[in-house]
Amino acid sequence: MALLLTPTSGGVQDWRQALVAAMPGLDVRVWPETGNRADIDIIALGAPPAGALRDLPKLGLIISLTAGTDALLRDPDLPAVPIVRVGVPPAGDTMMNETTLLHVMRHHRYLPDYARAQQRGEWIKRPITPSRERKVGVMGLGPIGLAAAKVLAAAGFQVAGWVRRPRSADGIEIFSGREGLNAFLARSEIVVNLLPLTPETRGILNAATFKALPVGASMINLGRGEHVVEADLIAALDSGHLADATLDVFPVEPLPGDSPLWRHPKITVMPHVARRLVPTELAPRVRDIIADFRAGRPPAQMVDRARGY
């Protein structure tokens, strides 16, 4: 029995060390040095390198070290074994909470506007709005999105969330389904995308979505690059309907040098730095997943392939 590890955020050698420290004796193989592929019963990965999922006759479990499983689910060699996400603690991912709060605050207090005014050497004052009067919308209340929404609510913002199935969440107004989307957008002055990338959510940040936001709204994309229709975003910013956007994720990363997003005055480009995986923090959770698997217990936090997350 062996675990195959492929490079991901956090550094493959740091992951290896952390996993072995949490599970002494665990046979960890680092891609592409697989050794005998018939030994491998578990693979732990982020986005799979081409061919990593091929020819693993004894594979019984895939552990996604990253929250997003879109690249994994698109892999043509994906075998029909359970996929489990490492998951985040109930308080969420600290770095994602920080990143969400940071960018919401930037837009809330018009920092992009002040940066442009400084470039022009212009002393401007935008009205200062208290957070209790600011309406923020979070698209996707998964483990990361829900925790981030709660942090925003604790900072005083009026927070709403958009999800697939109706439910309740303390202090957060819930909108659900396509039928709830326009009402959710219409009340959101700052919208944060934390949806998973699925066939249903690909291109969801498009002209119709931007039009449904109030004039002067800002958009923060922390989900996946393919959620955004780039031409529609640029048009919405150029028309003045949207004030500003911050993008942390892109369909092609690193973002190509000739992308118009780099130099658009109303777009902040962040090089996918919302969070970093910390192997020493996550290794105990991986250990628990492996212990359940090897003891034949059903896995928790399984990815639903049909749903796409």
Annotated catalytic sites, by residue? 224, 272
Residue nearest to ligand NDP (CB): 142
Exposure class string for 21-50: b at 16+ Cβ within 10 A, else e: ebbeebebbebeebeeeeebbbbbbbbbee
Give Cα separations from 71 to 3, 128, 241 (angstroms): 20, 41, 32
Q: How many residues interact with ligand NDP (rule CB under 6 A)?
A: 29
| Interface segment toward ligand NDP; rule CB under 6 A; list 101-109, 159-167, 233-241, 285-293 | 159-167
CB burial class (10 A; 0-12, 13-18, 19+) of residue 280?
A: middle
DSSP 172: B
Which is nearer to ligand NDP, 25 or 254 (by Cβ)? 254
Asked if 149 interacts with ligand NDP (CB under 6 A), we say no
Which is nearer to ligand NDP, 40 or 274 (by Cβ)? 274
CB burial class (10 A; 0-12, 13-18, 19+) of residue 276?
A: exposed
Q: What are phi and psi of 203, to 5 degrees?
A: 75, 15
Asked if 173 interacts with ligand NDP (CB under 6 A), we say no
Structure tokens at 125: 């004052």
Shortest distance (Å) from residue 201 CB to ligand NDP: 5
Identify which of 229, 212, 220, 243 has the alpha carbon closest to the alpha carbon of residue 140.
220
Which is nearer to ligand NDP, 43 or 277 (by Cβ)? 277
Q: What are phi and psi of 102, to 5 degrees?
A: -55, -50
Asked if 97 interacts with ligand NDP (CB under 6 A), we say no
Contact residue for ligand NDP among 48, 145, 225, 279 (CB under 6 A): 145
Identify which of 151, 170, 142, 162 has the alpha carbon closest to the alpha carbon of residue 105.
151
Contact residue for ligand NDP among 45, 195, 205, 286 (CB under 6 A): 195
Contact residue for ligand NDP among 48, 68, 137, 279 (CB under 6 A): 68
Contact residue for ligand NDP among 22, 194, 229, 267 (CB under 6 A): 194
Question: Which residues contact ligand NDP by CB under 6 A?
Answer: 67-68, 96, 140-145, 162-165, 194-198, 200-201, 222-224, 248-249, 272, 274-275, 309
